[in-house]
């Protein structure tokens, strides 16, 4: 009987070492299924490191940036430096005047960092406050600038 007791006790110890969760299991219950592997961390989305409304873009850099422009400007540029693109994607520059969308320009983003810009013709009679936004494919506004034509 002593030998049977030792064998039974040894098997119990081995079982506890192999499955420590079984030692804490309440009588009449079944063990929980193993936890699902953790989902991979989500890559951070696109962000704008810097942006500017400018009178020109030269060598991929904004020139003559301002918040107020003369009605004779004729054309303005919205420059954005985008970060966080792990795969090719796009953003849209949405130009608005008096709460009306005047233009939407889809721009390719092929890497990180990625500098891109759009342009908008400005008629002399379009004076007042403007807004231009950088919008992701999912519709998230990631940057915005307001400027005035006066």
Who contacts 116 (Cβ-Cβ below 8 Å, separation ≥6)?
A: 79, 80, 82, 91, 107, 108, 109
Q: Is residue 16 part of a domain?
A: no
d(CA 101, CA 139): 15
Q: For 47-65, how does the pLDDT look when each residue is reduced to its tens digit (9 = 90+)? A: 999 999 999 999 999 999 9
Domain span holding position 91: 47-149
Tokens, residue 61? 């850099």
Tell which residue, 66, 57, 149, has the closest CA to residue 107.
57
The pTM for the full model equals: 0.70
Residue 62: HSE in the Cβ half-sphere, 13 Å Cα cutoff: 20
Q: Is residue 117 part of a domain?
A: yes
Mean pLDDT of 99-127: 98
Give the pLDDT band (50/70/90) at residue 106.
very high
The number of distinct structural domains making up the chain is 1
Q: Is residue 2 part of a domain?
A: no
Q: What is the pLDDT of residue 43?
A: 37
Give the range among 37-46, 127-136, 140-149 with minimum mean pLDDT: 37-46
Q: Is residue 60 part of a domain?
A: yes
**CATH number of the domain where residue 131 is located:** 2.60.40.1930
Q: Is residue 21 part of a domain?
A: no
């Amino acid at each position: 009987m002593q030998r049977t007791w030792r064998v039974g006790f040894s098997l119990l110890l081995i079982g506890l070492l192999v499955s420590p969760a079984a030692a804490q299991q309440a009588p009449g219950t079944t063990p929980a299924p193993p936890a699902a592997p953790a989902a991979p961390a989500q890559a951070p989305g696109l962000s704008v490191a810097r942006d500017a409304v400018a009178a020109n873009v030269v060598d991929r850099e904004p020139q003559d940036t301002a918040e107020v422009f003369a009605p004779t400007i004729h054309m303005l540029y919205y420059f954005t430096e985008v970060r966080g693109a792990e795969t090719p994607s796009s953003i849209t520059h949405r130009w608005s005047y008096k709460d009306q969308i005047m233009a939407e320009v889809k721009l390719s983003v092929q890497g990180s960092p990625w500098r891109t810009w759009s342009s908008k013709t400005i008629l002399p009679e379009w004076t007042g406050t403007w807004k231009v936004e950088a919008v992701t494919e999912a519709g998230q506004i990631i940057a915005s600038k307001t400027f005035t034509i006066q």
